[in-house]
Amino acid sequence: MPAPDHPLFMAQDLADWLQKPVGDSQAAMCERVVWGWLKPILGLTNRPETLTEEQSSWAIELGGIAASNPDALARYVLEGEESFYDGTRRDEILRNAAAGGVTPAGGAPKPRGSFPPAERYPDRACPRGRGVFFQ
pLDDT, tens digit, for every residue of 92-116?
888 888 887 654 455 555 555 555 6
Task: Classify residue 103 by its DSSP letter.
Answer: B
Distances (CA, A) of 9 to 45, 56, 113, 133: 18, 7, 20, 47
pLDDT, tens digit, for every residue of 13-51?
999 999 999 999 999 999 999 999 898 888 888 888 888
pLDDT, tens digit, for every residue of 58-101?
999 999 988 887 766 666 677 777 666 667 788 888 888 888 76
Q: What is the dihedral of CA 70, 98, 52, 45, to 10 degrees?
A: 80
Q: What is the pTM of this model?
A: 0.64
Domain ranges for the chain:
11-98
Longest dimension (CA), the chain: 83
